[in-house]
Structure 1
Amino acid sequence: MPVARGTKAQSTKQPRASKAPSVTENVPPQKDEGCQAKRSPSSPQGGPKKRSAFGDITNAHKNQAVTGKKEGVKAPTNKATRAPTAPTVAKNNEINLKKSLKKTPPAEVPVEHEKDSVPEEPVQVPVVEDIDKEQLGDPYANAEYAKEIFDYMREREDKFLLPDYMEKQPDISRDMRAILVDWMVEVQENFELNHETLYLAVKLVDHYLVEVASMRDKLQLIGSTAVLIASKFEERCPPCVDDFLYICDDAYKREELIAMETSILRTLNFDINIPIPYRFLRRFAKCARASMETLTLARFLCEMTLQEYDYVRERPSKLAASSLLLALIMKNLGGWTPTLEYYSGYCAQDLHPLVKRLNFLLTYQPCDKLKAVRTKYSHRVFFEVAKMTPMDMMKLEEKLKS
């Protein structure tokens, strides 16, 4: 029945899910990832702490006194067409998986040599599991479009590849960046923010420093503002401006923080939907049917790279895949399966060099003063994965070759 003009029809749309589906559906409730990213003030690290990130290398206090839409497939205009049911979609997914695998066509045998030819063995097709079929009945999981979403994120990686920008910075060094990221990890812990917020904030800092030469006394302002922007993008209830002024130990004024937020957004053309390793890591862990403990170990390896400038130019998806592969080897859970190769787009040989670098980073941490990540993952909430013994390089080499 048509609705009278001037009246609003009652909405029948379901609320949208704000988060991607979890990759550990088979994990007991007490080990849910939600508790991984949160820390109450009664935890061993204590409640929120305010401090200046740089201490003696910044003069912020002194200066304070002086002064894409991806194109979707068009739906048919016939209103009478019904949406496919979950079993139909599952069957179609299996058909598409089989079609997408590259099969070696049998060699053609000439007619005159058919009698003398030896029958060929059947080609062994790798078994690829449809990891999304179990969630087809969940309207909030978007299982029908999950692979397309991550394929789109892989395409966007090309747009956000970072160059070697540190040589263009006149007053900022790699060590200063590492100190800043170490402080940002503490901010994520103190405010109980999601891990996606931390990864996105670090990306915002790097992309901003590519375009703008900054002084060291403004570096903490850039970092805190990046966390503010990432919180607005990722969090349901982001911290307010006063919280960031407090966490910076009142080193900056409100006007400076708001001005820096405007500068970062304009410099990046408001395109802040940057692919981050953490999203790919959760997706790949789902492909591997990894437990929460294995996923946490991979998260620890991946988060260790945030402080290291040498990993800035690595692709987020490749970094996530390498972290998971090293975690699987450390836990003796096998290697890179055909399912992981299909959904990640990387074969095991593509990841070997980066896996070795990650194990070297885990074994020889460059700076003992930057302990925020190790301290965070040494807690029992994170299964104390930071206390695990690194792989011997010779044994790791043997594992990768086998």
Structure 2
Amino acid sequence: MVFSAALSALALSLPLLSVNALRTRRALCPDGVNTAINLACCSLFPVVQDIQENFLTNECGDSAHGALRLVFHDAIGISPTAGGGGADGSIATFNETELTFPANLGIDDILDEIGPFLLKHSNTMSPGDFIQLAGALSLVQCPGAPRIPFFMGRAQPKAASPPNLVPQPFDSVASIVQRFGEVGFTTPEEIVAVVGGSHSVAGADDVVPGLQGLPFDQTPSVFDTQIFVDVQLRGTIFTGQGGNQGETETSVLGTVRLQSDHLLARDSQTNCAWQSFANNQAAMAEAFGQGVLKLSLLGQNQDELTDCSEVIPAAIPFTGGPATLPPGLTMNDIEQACATAAFPSLATQPGPATSVPAIPQADDDDDS
């Protein structure tokens, strides 16, 4: 890993911006260009510009997907009893430890990509703040995604996360629900929104060898509810663990399904929550935004942080239509799982069926 040594050696006593009193009027920042309600947030504007233009390149692509994944893997690795971890940037500072955890397979790619930016702005922000800022900015690159609050002032990480706390794509629903419950996610809707919403703008990484960049639904560059339809289709093959990677052909050509998504859509604990988000864009976006905000504050005291949400640009509105069935399929191809409500009626896309393009990888862009 190119930047692992540098990130691990990053000083753990870098200065943080102080919390200023709440202001009600915008004031001109020292740069003479930007304005802010809280002048403590002024130093973030050049960081935001750098992340958007040079890291995310102003698109909902592989880098944005990776930044969002990093938010989750950094934050949820926290134990109420064992200590360490949480939304503190430990996955970057103590990467030599945390990247050995099986659930963090492939995270080294996004850390290599984001590492130079994190180091460049290390005098302005702690690793935990930078990861959360990049994640919040990644969402506003994706049409339909919510604009989530951003709080600044996380201390330098003191220790690596304990092992075996990040859910894996091969875990049972009971295990996933238990892990989320340990960090304060108490309803199936919260869990399903965070998992499904994240996978709405995501694709296969090293977890599926040889299938790098295959999306999880038909619209990986749009934050929408198509994931909740595509995973519910009958006959899709989900990926297995170890030597059981097996078949990867799905009912949606060019996509791949994670076992955990397949099970969440069908298990009695979560299937009605999963179905409830199909064609319910507003509810899904709201629940997802609340869930990611909760993740961003794990291990933190919000009262000790500065609300710098004003530096996050406006979200891109969702302008797409309702979720649909792939060409040639009908409602009979939906594998009904929720026992208390019928799956929403869906239209079928005109044919013939075509394969969903793979998500261009950041390394591919560099080579072009």
Q: Where on the TM-score scale, by shorter chain, does this alignment land: which range?
A: under 0.3
> Which structure is larger by alpha-carbon Rg, 1 or 2?
1
More helix by share: 1
Question: Scaled by the length of structure 1, what TM-score is found?
Answer: 0.25
